[in-house]
């Protein structure tokens, strides 16, 4: 019995490895998208594994304030003489976590209820669309400012959840439109004739046919959440515990870094880090589309 179980596990592992190889091979069809994917992997590894090898510099060094890049300080130093590169390494985790949490929540809500609204129709569609239209009229960033005055954003993940709960209406309406079109297709009529049930049709038939659009929407939701996080931190409305790229920008602003000659490295390092993350997410979509839309592979 143990041998059969081990063989089954080995077979399952081989299938997963083969599937991963196939996915990576498909992603390589688009060079720009594959480079974006590799950049995302590098940023995630640097942000989540890098801190175990690179200690965060917290020591104030008056004689090394705003040093330019050197072999000792790869990206120079900040207003207290602390290593900027160590702050970049330790500052990416929260930014990625907030973007991921917000993207997942907004995508799950938008895709699930948008598909149900378009497929079921009737009073279900009316109620969902009415709620969506109401949420769409609420200005998100001013609402976040008001919530920050009432609530305590004591966790970046909590902030990501709030951002996700406010960022789904546009995706829901777009998904609903696609669901209205897809439910007229022959394969949906066949599924209905076989009485496969609403859950099966929605999650096994309709949503898989929208995956390329869903992935793009997910990455765009991530980028929007990251910008919102940085904006809130810059305004002093988000958590200031620990360190992240937004906090680095806020401190650079409040400590008057712009008035010092060699502070450009301190100001631009988090800006470039955020820009690279955003660019990598956007360009990675090119390769992700190839995975879920086989027709694009013949054109790649």
How many alpha carbons lie under 13 Å from residue 144 in its C-beta half-sphere? 25
Instruction: Count how many domains the chain has.
Output: 1
Give 43's pLDDT tier (boundaries 50, 70, 90). Answer: very high
Asked, for residue 209, whether it belongs to a domain, the answer is: yes
Asked, for residue 2, whether it belongs to a domain, the answer is: no
Give 153's pLDDT tier (boundaries 50, 70, 90). Answer: low
Asked, for residue 12, whether it belongs to a domain, the answer is: no
Q: What is the pLDDT of residue 130?
A: 92
CA distance 222 to 208: 21
Domain extent, residue 225, equals: 32-296
Above 70 in pLDDT, residue 6? Answer: no
Long-range contacts of 234-241 (CB under 8 A, 24+ apart): 235/145, 237/144, 237/145, 237/148, 237/149, 237/153, 238/148, 238/153, 238/156, 238/159, 239/153, 239/154, 239/155, 239/156, 239/159, 241/154
Which burial class, exposed, middle or buried, applies to 155 when counting CB atoms under 10 A from its CB (0-12, 13-18, 19+)?
Answer: middle
Q: Residues of the chain with pLDDT > 90: what percent?
A: 19
Give 276's pLDDT tier (boundaries 50, 70, 90). Answer: very high
Asked, for residue 93, whether it belongs to a domain, the answer is: yes
Asked, for residue 1, whether it belongs to a domain, the answer is: no
Largest distance between two CA atoms of the chain: 78
Above 80 in pLDDT, residue 258? Answer: no
Q: Is 109 in contact with 131 (CB distance < 8 Å)?
A: no
Among 122-126, 140-144, 153-157, the least confident range: 153-157
Q: Which phi-psi region, left, alpha or beta, contains residue 96 (left: φ > 0; alpha: ψ -120 to 50)?
A: alpha
267 membership: H or E segment, kind and range: helix 264-292
Name the H helices within 121-244.
122-136, 140-150, 156-166, 169-182, 186-193, 198-200, 211-234
Asked, for residue 7, whether it belongs to a domain, the answer is: no
Hey, what are 104's tokens?
A: 């997942």
The SS3 of residue 189 is helix
CATH code (residue 96): 1.10.3720.10
Q: Is 77 in contact with 137 (CB distance < 8 Å)?
A: no
Q: Is 206 in contact with 188 (CB distance < 8 Å)?
A: yes
Q: What is the pLDDT of residue 104?
A: 92
Above 80 in pLDDT, residue 203? Answer: yes
Angle between helices 84-120 and 211-234 (to 10 degrees): 130
Q: What is the pLDDT of residue 189?
A: 82
Q: Is 179 in contact with 213 (CB distance < 8 Å)?
A: no
Asked, for residue 160, whether it belongs to a domain, the answer is: yes
Q: Is 56 in contact with 90 (CB distance < 8 Å)?
A: yes
Asked, for residue 11, whether it belongs to a domain, the answer is: no
């Amino acid at each position: 019995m143990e041998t059969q179980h081990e063989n089954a596990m080995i077979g399952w592992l081989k299938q997963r490895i083969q599937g991963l190889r196939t996915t990576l091979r498909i992603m390589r069809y688009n060079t720009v998208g594959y480079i974006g994917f590799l950049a995302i992997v590098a940023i995630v590894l640097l942000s989540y594994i890098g801190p175990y090898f690179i200690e965060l510099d917290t020591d104030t060094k008056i004689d090394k304030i705003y040093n330019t890049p050197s072999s000792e300080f790869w990206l120079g130093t900040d207003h207290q003489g602390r290593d900027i590169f160590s702050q970049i390494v330790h500052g990416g985790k929260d930014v990625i976590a907030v973007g991921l949490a917000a993207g997942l929540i907004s995508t799950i809500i938008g895709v699930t209820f948008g598909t149900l609204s378009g497929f079921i129709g009737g009073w279900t569609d009316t109620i969902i669309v009415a709620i969506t239209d109401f949420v769409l009229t609420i200005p998100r960033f001013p609402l976040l400012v008001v919530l920050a005055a009432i609530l305590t954003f004591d966790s970046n993940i909590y902030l990501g959840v709030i951002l996700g709960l406010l960022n789904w209406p546009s995706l829901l309406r777009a998904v609903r439109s696609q669901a209205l079109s897809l439910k007229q297709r022959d394969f949906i009529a066949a599924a209905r004739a076989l009485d496969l049930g609403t859950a099966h049709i929605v999650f096994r038939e309709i949503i898989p046919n929208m995956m390329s659009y869903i992935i793009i929407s997910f990455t765009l939701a991530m980028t929007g959440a990251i910008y919102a996080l940085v904006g809130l931190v810059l305004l002093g409305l988000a958590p200031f515990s620990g360190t992240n790229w937004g906090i680095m920008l806020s401190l650079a602003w409040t400590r008057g870094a712009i008035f010092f000659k060699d502070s450009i490295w301190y100001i631009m390092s988090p800006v470039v880090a955020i820009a690279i993350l955003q660019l990598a997410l956007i360009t990675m979509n090119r390769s992700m589309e190839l995975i879920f839309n086989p027709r694009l592979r013949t054109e790649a």
